[in-house]
Amino acid sequence: MTTWTEVSRTAARPVADELALVLEALAIPTGHAAANGQHVLLVPIEYAERARAELDKYAQENRVRPVQAETPLPIAWSVGAALAFAAILLALDAAQRRQSFGLDWWSAGVASAGAIRAGGWWRSITALGLHADLLHLAGNLAFGAMFGVMLAQSIGFGMAWLAFVLTGGIGNFVNAWLQSPSHSSIGASTAVFGMLGVQVAHDWVRRRQLHYNLFRRWAPIAVGAALLAWLGGDGRPIDANALPKALNELTVQLPTIDVWAHVLGFAAGLALGGFIGWGRPRLRFGLPLQAVTAAGALGLFVLAWYCALR
């Protein structure tokens, strides 16, 4: 007559079944009993010592090490980076309106689909710094600074603004190949939506890693989709007569809003944010990395304008 003994007890039946499969794969007979709402795994007493050793080994091999949430850098860094972003956009706006240094900033920097297709990749980035009027500029300054500070608190100020340049540039570049050659666009909004996409995807991945419940994991996706629909679906017509002459000469099309550019910037942000979130546990997101990536963001923006104005 076989004497059975307990080797494991759990409240979850799937876990008990999983452990039973582990032992059965090792040719250890198993049995099951229920006691006080618990699922008890039993083995013949002569197998007990070996069974417990194998279950301990299995638990060690499959232990999930919890991912620790990191303490962000002081918010002063995030705010300072947002102020630098605002200063750069204001300086560019003043330069193009005054045609500083005798340069035609508009015709050099607008994201003309035909020019981008012909090899002018830099226009995908330079267009982020050009705006039709003060209201257009003010909107992108406000939302860009707000999303920039939020993202900087999640991934650091340098990574946030490098994401701004990369997602905005990618969105404009891909958009140029989807539009007619005569299509042109300006404004930082593609990159602003790119930062939103990075925030959404990064938070979704991190919440999975931190074992948040289903509702809290999917909340960033819902919020991001709502903001994309709300901010991306509103706008106002731009008076072509109020634009600089250079834009009219380029037969620039400026619709109420360039939905495709926004969607593509957001999509680029989702891809980048997912990649950053996936690599987060393996990287140090401290001040040295932020300084390097901030310099990279500024350097890429300056390089694009150098290529445009040379």
| Mean pLDDT across 288-305 | 96
Show the DSSP H helices in the chain as ranges.
13-25, 48-61, 75-98, 105-109, 113-117, 123-126, 134-155, 157-178, 189-209, 214-232, 245-249, 259-279, 287-309
Of 54-63, 188-197, 247-256, 280-289, the least confident:
247-256
Q: Give yes or no for residue 242 having a pLDDT over 60.
A: no
Residue 27 burial (CB count, 10 A): 7
Closest listed residue to residue 252, CA positions, set 98, 103, 107: 107
Q: Give yes or no for residue 307 having a pLDDT over 90.
A: yes
Q: What is the pLDDT of residue 3?
A: 85
Q: Give yes or no for residue 240 having a pLDDT over 70.
A: no
Closest listed residue to residue 287, CA positions, set 156, 195, 162, 161: 156
Amino acid at 269: G
Phi and psi, residue 233, nearest 5°: -110, 10
Judge if 122 and 180 occupy the same domain.
Answer: yes
Judge if 267 and 292 occupy the same domain.
Answer: yes
Q: What is the pLDDT of residue 235?
A: 37
Q: What is the pLDDT of residues 109-163, one digit of tens each?
A: 999 999 999 999 999 999 999 998 899 899 999 999 999 999 999 899 999 999 9
Judge if 11 and 154 occupy the same domain.
Answer: no
Judge if 220 and 250 occupy the same domain.
Answer: yes
Of 137-151, 154-168, 182-196, 255-269, the least confident:
255-269
Query: Would residue 193 count as lying in a domain?
Result: yes
Q: What is the pLDDT of residues 64-107, one digit of tens each?
A: 444 455 667 889 999 999 999 999 999 999 999 999 999 999 99
Q: Which residue has 């991190």 as its token pair? A: 206
**Number of domains comprising the chain:** 2
Q: What is the pLDDT of residue 250?
A: 42
| Mean pLDDT across 225-246 | 48
d(CA 202, CA 4): 49
Amino acid at 295: A
Q: Give yes or no for residue 252 having a pLDDT over 90.
A: no
Q: Which residues of 69-86 are buried (b: 16+ CB within 10 A; e: fewer)?
A: eeeebeeebbbebbeebb
> What is the span of the domain harbouring residue 48?
4-61
Query: Would residue 227 count as lying in a domain?
Result: yes
Tell me what percent of the residues of the chain surpass a pLDDT of 70: 80
Judge if 132 and 42 occupy the same domain.
Answer: no
Query: Would residue 66 count as lying in a domain?
Result: no
Judge if 197 and 303 occupy the same domain.
Answer: yes
d(CA 178, CA 183): 10
d(CA 158, CA 155): 8
Judge if 248 and 123 occupy the same domain.
Answer: yes
Q: What is the pLDDT of residue 277?
A: 86
Q: Give yes or no for residue 181 having a pLDDT over 80.
A: yes
Query: Would residue 254 count as lying in a domain?
Result: yes
Query: Would residue 116 count as lying in a domain?
Result: yes
- Reported as a pLDDT band with limits 50, 70 and 90, residue 53 is very high
Higher pLDDT, 198 or 253: 198
Domain boundary among 61, 83, 106: 61
Q: What is the pLDDT of residues 197-231, one digit of tens each?
A: 999 898 888 777 655 555 555 556 666 565 666 55
Query: Would residue 268 count as lying in a domain?
Result: yes
Judge if 39 and 80 occupy the same domain.
Answer: no
pTM comes to 0.69
Phi and psi, residue 38, nearest 5°: -105, 150
CATH number at residue 270: 1.20.1540.10
Q: Which residues of 143-153 are buried (b: 16+ CB within 10 A; e: fewer)?
A: bbbebbbebbb
Q: What stretch of H or E contains 32?
A: strand 31-35
Closest listed residue to residue 243, CA positions, set 186, 307, 303: 186
- Reported as a pLDDT band with limits 50, 70 and 90, residue 265 is very high
Q: What is the pLDDT of residue 87?
A: 97
Q: What is the pLDDT of residue 226?
A: 59
CATH number at residue 15: 3.30.70.1070
| Mean pLDDT across 56-68 | 68
d(CA 145, CA 160): 11
